[in-house]
């Protein structure tokens, strides 16, 4: 099928159906969200400060879902309650990563406690639309308690094509939720919000014009199960070449081969093809941390072209990734936020039957 297609379905789980969402473009799997038992990024806790870890520059916290780690020590005392938000998935055996900079994010609005001001996404260039959105925001927030709490608002780029009533409703809902949570900062450790599941995240973040299917079995109808199974194999075809994506405990290794192409430009072509597809592969597989690229041989003069292609591909990817640079052996290193749980930890063979 041509164009964007959003599929909202469930996979069979041990304790019941597991919520899942898939985004496809022209029949190719672009993004995949599958729920798990781990705390969801975006969940908000009233946590209790436990003990500082000065060597790591942070503090362990107590939450209902186990220990959390906050990269902050200054001004915190053991036993002190504080509001924190989950920022990503923890590696096995490690604490949940959290931050005190809360964000209340929806399809059109982001409420920002502690960062006052009403702003419109820079991606919206039309002055008339920007003025209309600012008027809607001011009308909704005029006299709202969130402003007295030094809260701010960001109107997302998706507002450009939205109805004014939908934007106003979203702004009011996020402001009310933020006010409720901020007023609930005292007490024992407790989870205050669950964080968005796959279906809610799809509605929130996949905002382009798309056909949407929600019928049970739509994954099977569009071959999503087979596409997920392919993600468990390291080999990925990239044009005439191949890349192998193989996670280890310490890092993820990506090896690039030119295949049967023996031309002088074979290495550059394979490396460019890998760069264009790498963010998608890492996103679908839920991989983060250190990424080491073992590239196909190419002249040093072509390194700038490769870096440009990789930078362009990462620019349209939502996960923060640092291009660390070249190693003495000619490999290229990335540092990617662990924003998702590895696919191998949440999907079993039985779920794809």
Among 99, 122, 145, where does a domain finish? 99
Are 86 and 156 found together in one domain?
no
**CATH number for position 157:** 3.30.230.10
Q: What are the helix (H) ranges across the chain?
A: 127-141, 145-148, 164-182, 198-205, 218-221, 224-230, 266-285, 303-315, 343-346
Residues contacting 35, CB < 8 A, separation 6+: 18, 19, 20, 197, 198, 346
Q: Residue 57 above 80 pLDDT? A: no
In angstroms, the CA 17 to CA 245 distance is: 29
Are 58 and 163 found together in one domain?
no
In angstroms, the CA 23 to CA 202 distance is: 8
> By residue range, what is the domain housing residue 158?
104-187
Q: Identify the sign of the CA torsion 138, 141, 147, 151.
A: negative
Does 239 reside within a domain?
yes
Q: Residue 349 above 80 pLDDT? A: no
Q: How many CB atoms lie within 10 A of CB 84?
A: 25
pLDDT level of residue 92 (50, 70, 90 thresholds) = confident
pLDDT level of residue 237 (50, 70, 90 thresholds) = very high
Residue-level pLDDT at 1: 67
Q: Are 338 and 288 in contact (CB under 8 A)?
A: yes
Does 54 reside within a domain?
yes
Are 91 and 108 found together in one domain?
no
Q: What is the DSSP letter of 340?
A: S
Average pLDDT over residues 3-24: 94
As for how many domains the chain has, the answer is 3
Is the pLDDT higher at 150 or at 74?
150
**CATH number for position 341:** 3.40.630
Q: Residue 56 above 80 pLDDT? A: no
pLDDT level of residue 91 (50, 70, 90 thresholds) = confident
Are 64 and 131 found together in one domain?
no
Are 138 and 174 found together in one domain?
yes
| Residue percentage of the chain with pLDDT more than 70 | 99
**CATH number for position 90:** 2.40.50
Residue-level pLDDT at 77: 83
Are 81 and 111 found together in one domain?
no
Q: C-alpha dihedral over 113, 38, 322, 104, to 10 degrees?
A: -20
Residue-level pLDDT at 72: 78
């Amino acid at each position: 099928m041509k164009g964007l297609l959003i599929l909202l379905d469930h996979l069979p789980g041990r304790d019941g159906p597991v919520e899942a969402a898939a985004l496809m473009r022209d029949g190719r799997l672009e993004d995949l969200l599958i729920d798990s038992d781990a705390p969801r990024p975006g969940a908000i806790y009233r946590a209790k400060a436990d003990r500082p870890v000065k060597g790591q520059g942070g503090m362990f916290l107590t939450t209902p879902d186990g220990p959390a780690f906050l990269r902050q020590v200054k001004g915190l005392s053991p036993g002190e309650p504080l509001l924190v938000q989950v920022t990503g998935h923890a590696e096995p055996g490690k604490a949940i990563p959290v931050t005190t900079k809360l964000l209340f994010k929806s399809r059109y609005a982001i409420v920002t406690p502690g960062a006052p001001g009403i702003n419109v996404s820079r991606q919206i260039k039309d002055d008339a639309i920007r003025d209309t959105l600012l008027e809607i925001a001011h009308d909704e927030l005029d006299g709202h308690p969130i402003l007295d709490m030094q809260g701010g608002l960001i109107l997302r780029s998706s507002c450009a094509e939205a109805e004014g009533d939908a934007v106003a409703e979203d702004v009011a809902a996020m402001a009310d939720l933020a006010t409720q949570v901020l007023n609930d900062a005292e007490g024992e450790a407790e989870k205050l919000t669950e964080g968005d599941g796959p279906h809610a995240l799809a509605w929130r973040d996949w905002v382009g014009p798309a056909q949407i299917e929600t019928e049970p079995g739509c994954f099977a109808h569009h071959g999503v199960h087979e596409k997920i199974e392919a993600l468990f194999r390291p080999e990925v075809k990239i044009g005439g070449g191949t890349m192998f994506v193989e996670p280890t405990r310490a890092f993820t290794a990506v090896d690039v081969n030119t295949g049967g192409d023996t031309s002088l430009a074979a290495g550059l072509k394979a490396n460019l093809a890998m760069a264009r597809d790498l963010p998608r592969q890492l996103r679908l597989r839920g991989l983060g941390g250190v990424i080491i690229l073992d590239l196909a041989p190419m002249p040093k003069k072509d390194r700038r072209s490769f870096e440009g292609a990789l930078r362009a591909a990462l620019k349209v990817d939502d996960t923060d990734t640092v291009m660390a640079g070249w190693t003495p052996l000619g490999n290229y290193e990335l540092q990617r936020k662990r924003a998702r749980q590895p696919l191998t930890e949440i999907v079993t063979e039985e779920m794809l039957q």
